[in-house]
Structure 1
């Protein structure tokens, strides 16, 4: 029964988010109220807030699966593999499979989703809140191979690089290019960025 309750809760969570994002993409994030989202999802406003702490989380739920991802990559890397090499490999794999989080995805809804985030100040602010947690988790994962200060500095640099690369890819696609057209340059940019990180992070 516990498993069924969890599955039902997860499905409700997804349904609320899907209803919200559909409305936001159609009318704009700031022009849709939480009350309207609740009505579209056929739930009450108090119930909605049991699933999502803020209106912004209705959108950023889509990237929740990626929270702590960089830290997990470092912790699960193969024997003898350097942390930065593992993160580089993981980002390239994301580009190859067109993971939306890399910005290299030309699905119309994904492009619109990113446009909504980047053009809405409250979503950008909330996104940075998520990134702060990711940065702390990555620093903790790196702490075993370097001192705490270095780990924090490297974590911040890595996540900044990934953010810049992802936005660069999205901008190219938003400008009219396909993911296939952008892919070679995206790989080259990632290789260049991680080479710069590696050159500036002797500890890695």
Structure 2
């Protein structure tokens, strides 16, 4: 990468961040549905066409913050250690997320993170977009599990397993988030979150261990 290309990339990253920060600040202050995209563009000092070059839809102004996690569990399955089962790798990865207070586990009590989660889960348009993300995650995990098990083309086991795993992840994260939103610290909730995760993966293992455990 030459110097000019590097400067251009950094400028794009700064613009991307400025637009997103302006959007989330306005949404938190006034509500997602009450803030038009034109106001976000004005606050970020860019034109609407420029804003849409960076964020094709209004929902993307918020949800791009979790876009890096798209397909994450499929990547964990494909990148697991030699001899490690998919279920073991996913359990290990979720425990790591809990230790690191990864917001996607729900176990993070930073006020900004809590406000962001509250914004997302109280806004129907964002919840609907999250459902699309979930479907994409499930499809990606299905493919990874299909490869891991060397399954036949029409074997339903990988898809059924992926649906269960993605749903369990969502349930665990929402339960952790609910406890933290009730005023408990992430440190206090952590042992319960670990125990809940182990219970969930043990239950999954009862049915999935033969193929993916």
TM-score category (smaller protein): over 0.9
Rg larger in structure: 2
User: Structure 2 CA distance, aligned partners of 1:82 and 1:40?
Assistant: 49
Moved more, 29-38 or 8-17: 8-17
Q: Distance in 1 between matches of 2:132 and 2:10?
A: 27
Measured against aligned partners, the alpha-carbon deviations of 1:65-121 in whole angstroms (never above 9, x if no partner) come to 111111111111100000011011000000001011111000111111111111111
Q: TM-score, normalised by structure 2?
A: 0.92
Distance 1:14 1:82 in 2: 38
State the partner residue of 1:161. Answer: 168
- Cα distance in 2 for partners of 1:15, 1:73 equals 31
Task: Indicate the residue corresponding to 1:125 in structure 2.
Answer: 128
**Separation in structure 2 between the aligned mates of residue 7 and residue 70 of structure 1, nearest angstrom:** 29
Alignment partner, residue 12 of structure 1:
15
Q: Give the equivalent residue in structure 2 for 1:203.
A: 211
Larger deviation, residues 79-88 vs 126-135: 126-135
* SS in structure 2 at match of 1:203: helix
Give the aligned partner of residue 194 of structure 2. Answer: 187
Stretches of 4+ moved more than 2 A in 1?
A: 1-8, 145-148
| TM-score with structure 1 setting the length | 0.96
Q: Structure 2 residue aligned with 1:142, among 141, 145, 148?
A: 145
Report Cα offsets for 1:155-188 as digits up to 9, x if no partner.
Answer: 1111111111001001001111110111110000
- Aligned-partner Cα distance in 1 for 2:20–2:183: 28
Matched, 1:173 2:180: yes
Please list every run of 5 or more consecutive structure 1 residues that lacks an aligned counterpart in the other structure. none
Task: Calculate the aligned-residue CA RMSD, in Å.
Answer: 1.1
Residues 13-28 of structure 1 mapped to structure 2, 5 A cutoff: 13-28=16-31
Match of 1:61 in 2: 64
Deviation of 1:19 after TM superposition, in Å, equals 1.0
* Count of aligned pairs: 204
* Mapped partners of 1:67, 1:5: distance in 2: 26
Shift of 1:7: 2.8
